[in-house]
Chain A
């Protein structure tokens, strides 16, 4: 990306587009990758509410896939996931393995 020169800047460094951080993908920070095992999912949405990176997609109140563009792989979702009958619906796997 071409860097802006001083004549192209917004006065006062005001950021004019709300939520523009979406353009900054943080998925590459991940060392571990959460994997969703749908059959163990009870749709409690705890993973969604606790995710610090808004990286779990939910549509019409139903849990969908991880958003790997942003997921930093912290593992909170996996730890908090109750799963079904003691079987977790999220497991963490090392990236690149």
Chain B
């Protein structure tokens, strides 16, 4: 039985991800993890790719995880968890274990869109029973804010710095949520911790399916985004309202937008408070800023069309 999604009821649950972790003050990733685990009403085992979340949540004898957890390397959270899940199935088949157990992998955007892409695709194709959660902060944060294929167009990172000739990242983001849905998995969705109920509903829905599921969750990083320590949730709301980060799900191949902004805000509203986009508001970069808006608009139109045509 799934816990009713009211904060009052949820607050009675034990924190499966505890305080004492060492993520930066105001980091979005632990908020994502706590919400995902809060919406999980089963015994659960997690795997974690190398990255900020992993290095800050389990150091020496201090682990923030109250559930069985495994980190092995950077590019293989999905493969590692597929091994755990397969051992579970083997022992269950042999009658050596009788519990129902769920499996969740957590990876950053670098560990998911880039270096862990093959391992993720393989695990999804093989059909392992797991939810893969990407906490997407749009760069390799743990190693110091390098560009990933999730880094937004125009962003200033340490490997695509905004210079006098090249104004930051010149390529748009990879649309990983759609790529994962194209694996014909039962459930793929995009979520944001600002919309906690929507996020948790998606986790519960994902758990209700057997097989591979994918959740892409926005996870602000105030260091990499060069924003304030208090604005993770506020930026998430702006990301959703500007359709930079639309909330939707693809359930059995059918696309549904789960939150439509009352009034679509300009993407500049989301970008302005972030130092990584500062140069885009300087004279000479108007065209690039315009291109960012156009890309967001085009993706949003595509998404609405997908919903309309029921595909």
Question: Is there a contact between chains A and B in the complex with CB atoms less than 8 Å apart?
Answer: yes
Q: Please report A residues at the B interface, Cβ cutoff 8 Å.
A: 15, 17-26, 29-30, 44-46, 48-55, 58, 60-61, 67, 69-70, 72-76, 78-80, 92
Chain B residue with Cβ nearest A43: B8
Q: How far is the CA of A43 from the CA of B23 in the complex (A)?
A: 27
How far does the alpha carbon of A54 sit from the alpha carbon of B65 in the complex, in Å?
13
The CA-CA distance from A19 to B228 in the complex, in Å, is: 28
Bound Cα distance from A21 to B22, whole angstroms: 9
Q: How far is the CB of B213 from chain A (nearest CB, A)?
A: 23
Residues of B within 8 A of A15 (CB): 58, 61-63
Which residues of B from 48 to 69 have beta carbons under 8 Å from A?
57-58, 61-68
A46 proximity list for chain B (CB < 8 A)? 7
Contacts of B65 in A (CB 8 A): 18-19
Residues of A within 8 A of B231 (CB): 76, 79
Are B62 and A79 in contact (CB-based, < 8 A)? no
Tell whether, in the assembled complex, residue B22 and residue A50 are in contact, meaning their CB atoms are under 8 Å apart.
no
Q: By DSSP majority rule, is chain B's interface helix, strand, loop, or mixed?
A: loop
Please, which residues of chain B bring their CB within 8 A of the CB of A92? 230
Question: Can you list 21 A-B pairs, Cβ within 8 angstroms, ordered by A?
Answer: A15-B58, A15-B63, A18-B66, A44-B7, A45-B8, A48-B11, A49-B35, A51-B31, A52-B30, A52-B232, A54-B34, A61-B9, A61-B11, A74-B230, A75-B228, A75-B229, A76-B231, A78-B230, A79-B230, A79-B231, A80-B234
Residues of B within 8 A of A23 (CB): 20, 62
How many residues does chain B have at the interface if contact means C-beta atoms less than 8 Å apart? 43
Does B15 count as interface, using CB distance less than 8 angstroms?
Answer: yes
Question: Cβ of B26 < 8 Å from any Cβ of A?
Answer: yes
Nearest-CB residue, chain A, relative to B7: A45
By beta carbon, the residue of chain B nearest A9 is B61
Q: Does B28 contact A (CB under 8 A)?
A: yes
* Cross-chain contact of A52 among B23, B62, B66, B68 (Cβ < 8 A): B23
Q: Quick check: is B268 within 8 A (CB to CB) of the other chain? A: no
Judge whether A48 and B26 touch: CB under 8 Å.
Answer: no
- Given contact pairs A19-B63, A29-B25, A52-B34, a sample of 19 additional A-B residue pairs in the complex whose CB atoms are under 8 Å apart: A17-B63, A18-B68, A19-B66, A21-B62, A23-B20, A49-B10, A49-B196, A50-B31, A50-B232, A52-B23, A52-B25, A58-B11, A72-B24, A72-B26, A74-B26, A75-B230, A76-B229, A79-B231, A79-B234
A residues less than 8 Å from B20 (CB atoms): 20-26, 70
A26 x B62 contact (CB < 8 A): no
- Asked if residues A21 and B63 are in contact (CB atoms below 8 Å), the reply is yes
1/0 per position for B255-275, CB-CB distance to A under 8 A?
000000000000000000000
Chain B residues whose C-beta falls within 8 Å of the C-beta of A21 in the assembled complex? 18-21, 57-58, 62-64
CA distance A68 to B199 in the complex (A): 28
B residues near A79, Cβ cutoff 8 Å: 230-231, 233-234
* Least distance between B48 CB and chain A CB atoms (Å): 13
* Given A18-B65, A54-B34: A76 touches B18 (CB 8 Å cut-off): no
Of chain A, the residue at the smallest CB distance from B31 is A52
Decide: B26 and A45 in contact? CB cutoff 8 A. no
| Chain A residues within an 8 Å CB radius of B30 | 52-53
Within the complex, what minimum Cβ distance (angstroms) separates A79 from chain B?
5
Interface centre among A30, A72, A76, A92 (most CB of B within 10 A): A76
